[in-house]
Structure 1
Amino acid sequence: MSAPTAVRPLRIGPFVSETPVVLAPMAGITNAGFRRLCREQGAGFYVCEMITSRGLVERNPLTFRMIAMDPDEHPRSMQLYGVDPAAMGQAVRIIVEQDLADHIDMNFGCPVPKVTRRGGGAALPFKRRLFERIVRAAVENAGPIPVTVKMRIGIDDAHHTYLDAGRIAADAGVAAVALHARTAAQRYSGTADWSAIARLRDALPAELPVLGNGDIFSAADALAMVSSTGCDGVVVGRGCLGRPWLFGDLEAAFAGRELPEPPSLGQVAATMRRHAVLLQEHMGPDKGIRDMRKHIAWYLKGFPVGSDLRRRLGLVNSLDELDELLTHLDLEHPFPADADGPRGRQGSAGRVVLPEHWLDDPEDPSVPFGAELEHSGG
């Protein structure tokens, strides 16, 4: 497998990665422990969980716990969500003044109802003027810190927003634009429309990196996306759940090297244990091992592991217990040929929940009523 000749190192502001790969922020997943595990596998940009601009402004304790970074994490990439230009600008000033991050990514792609019903996430780019004000507020307050934007194709098939939003973001001075090639109505179902990534790449200045996101479950998927769309790199989300070695595969593939051999069940077990240790270091022994539970099924997907052992692993209460349970696995078993593919959230398509009258006027710059009342950290 060889690397596409058109792919260059990915530059985001002053930061360069020879491997043009970004870890997508995922709620409850991309904490400091998981990011470190992924960084140990291969190069790229690794973005923390989404936090709210309001959470930063109000000094919410949960927010500040969520933005904890490893001392050797560089660049420190933080994803911000917000619907109020004033709060966004203030949050970015806090990041700059307190040296909390080296790169800010803005979330305009979340399809979750509790976000879109307030006009946030994937709903927001429909309001072009409000979108522009928020992006400009971030860029103008960021100083030397590069700001990037992640978005979706649009709200649904009748309301595509990505081309206008991409041009607006480019004019506002962002350092890169990433497109998850689904609508908010699709959520995580169906197939990503990579042709939209190609259209966005064609619509924006050649010097502005355009990144593709959606259905990257293997190194071959990443090379195929770059080859078919001309995008400058890929954003990996669900594809690395239970498969953090995917970043090593991607590094090899983009460098034109032969891919590493897929891990045996014994190597997977060792990675699981490393993951658990890192989570405990980040969260503490009890919370860390509980957080590990949700990763177990993703790691074991496709392997012949009995239902009772799977259940016991999914209820593990300590690192010692995890060690004991892992001895019951067939550690010599090779990686199953059909073990890759979708993991994590999938669900089905559905109507996008929006604020009342949201679709009446795309030029309305007003902040939706009550949108910033919550001060959640995530």
Structure 2
Amino acid sequence: MTSTTSVLPGPLRLGALTVDVPVVLAPMAGITNAAYRRLCAEQGAGLYVCEMITSRGLVEGDEATRRMLVFDELETTRSVQLYGTDPRYVAEATRILCDEFGVAHVDLNFGCPVPKVTRKGGGGALPWKRGLLGEILTQAVRAAEPYGVPVTMKTRKGLDDQRLTYLDAGRIAQDAGCAAIALHGRTVAQAYSGVADWDAIAELVAAVDLPVLGNGDIWEAADAVRLVEQTGAAGVVVGRGCLGRPWLFRDLAAVFRGETLQTLPTLGEVATMMRRHAELLVALMGPERGCKEYRKHVSWYLKGFPVGGELRRALAMVSTLDELDALLADLDHMAPYPVSELGAPRGRQGSPRERVVLPEGWLDDTDGRDLCLAEDAAETSGG
């Protein structure tokens, strides 16, 4: 390793919570369960956030919601992302997380672009209603305050390029007492398409006094360095870039220590990581469900490697760890990492949307404090 000359941010401070490496794993539905969080944490330090849960689901005791609130025995800092549109539900859910689950950090999701969420005024649609956003944030911060738990928020640039909300959202978050704000440099209309606008992150950094975390298009550790240098962000949030590449957190931890590291594992080393992931999932969920959950990760792990279609299909249909072991043994363990995949987008991308699906009359005003929005008890997504 060689030392770099870049001046990079030090530990991330969220209220009383200190994160040694200013890197946050973005919650991803069906991905960032306790098994995956442990797998990533074994690679490097950072803050690893649980899958997003709904405030109403938690308050009303929804079983599916509570099953998601499972933490690995080594998770000393429990972090959860919460979705909600009703200040009362969000406040009570925050209190439950702090009081009953020992959570040390609560993040509120106002960035989800999924139509089934935005059509109810949730996720990335909600910051359009500035008054409602402020009320939700204020209530959540008050609920967490007795426990000394910091509350942060995640958002996007706005609904579309004509309806930007991120600067107002930053001011509102600061006034409400939030410990930080994370900005995904895309609009809701963009979803995951196109290129993230890091200039918007820099504008938000200049506009507020609380820490700003940059999110979007961090595919390699070098991208994280460029983002913080270009924007002045206090840290980064990493989502799709770590799909099938949990060792990215090893590289991120290294660069934020001022070292240069880029992990290029052989296919054999990737196979070892795949086996570890499956093992953790089986321990968490049991053999049948654990192997089923594992299958979705196979294509990400093998992306770009010379693996035949028949073997890929078989690996994506495994039902036991013994079966997985036999198939992994058939891989060419000496195959080098496909450098063509470095810096390439991973996971969903898609196309921008012609319009954002919103509740009727949503754009008529920007307050919304008196709204009574429908909130599903078991909504799952991410931002």
* TM-score, normalisation: structure 1: 0.97
Give the match for residue 93 of structure 1: 95
Amino acid corresponding to residue 356 of structure 1 in structure 2? E
Change (3 A) 1:238 1:184: same
Is 2:158 the partner of 1:191? no
How far the C-alpha of 1:368 sits from its partner, in A, is: 4.2
Is 2:266 the partner of 1:264? yes
Change (3 A) 1:304 1:3: farther
Q: 2:129, 2:197 → 1: CA distance?
A: 23
Q: 2:113, 2:193 → 1: CA distance?
A: 12
How far the C-alpha of 1:253 sits from its partner, in A, is: 0.9
Amino acid corresponding to residue 96 of structure 1 in structure 2? C
How far the C-alpha of 1:138 sits from its partner, in A, is: 0.3
Is 2:175 the partner of 1:171? yes
How far the C-alpha of 1:92 sits from its partner, in A, is: 1.3
Give the match for residue 350 of structure 2: 347
Q: 2:307, 2:277 → 1: CA distance?
A: 19
How far the C-alpha of 1:173 sits from its partner, in A, is: 0.4
Give the match for residue 315 of structure 1: 317
1:302-341 equivalences under 5 Å are 302-340=304-342, 341=344
Q: 1:3, 1:344 → 2: CA distance?
A: 32
Q: 1:187, 1:4 → 2: CA distance?
A: 32
Residue 346 of structure 2 aligns to a residue whose secondary structure is coil
Is 2:73 the partner of 1:71? yes
Alignment check: 8 A CA contact 2:181 2:212 kept = yes
Percentage of pairs with the same residue: 59
Q: Cα deviation per residue 1:299-333 (whole Å; 9 max; x = unaligned)?
A: 00010111111111111111111111111111011
Q: 1:305, 1:56 → 2: CA distance?
A: 43
Q: 2:306, 2:329 → 1: CA distance?
A: 14
Amino acid corresponding to residue 359 of structure 2 in structure 1? P
Residue 41 of structure 1 aligns to a residue whose secondary structure is coil
Alignment check: 8 A CA contact 2:8 2:258 kept = no
Which shows bigger deviation, 40-49 or 94-103? 94-103
Amino acid corresponding to residue 84 of structure 2 in structure 1? G
Q: 1:131, 1:181 → 2: CA distance?
A: 19
Amino acid corresponding to residue 337 of structure 2 in structure 1? F
How far the C-alpha of 1:4 sits from its partner, in A, is: 2.9
Structure 2: which 5+ residue stretches go unaligned?
none
Give the match for residue 139 of structure 1: 141
Alignment check: 8 A CA contact 2:34 2:284 kept = yes
Q: 1:74, 1:12 → 2: CA distance?
A: 16
Q: Over aligned residues, Cα RMSD in angstroms?
A: 1.2
Which shows bigger deviation, 339-348 or 158-167? 339-348
Provide runs of 4+ in structure 1 moved above 3 Å. Answer: none
Q: Cα deviation per residue 1:31-71 (whole Å; 9 max; x = unaligned)?
A: 00000000000000000000000011001111111011112
1:139-158 equivalences under 5 Å are 139-143=141-145, 144-158=148-162
Aligned length: 374
Change (3 A) 1:330 1:338: same
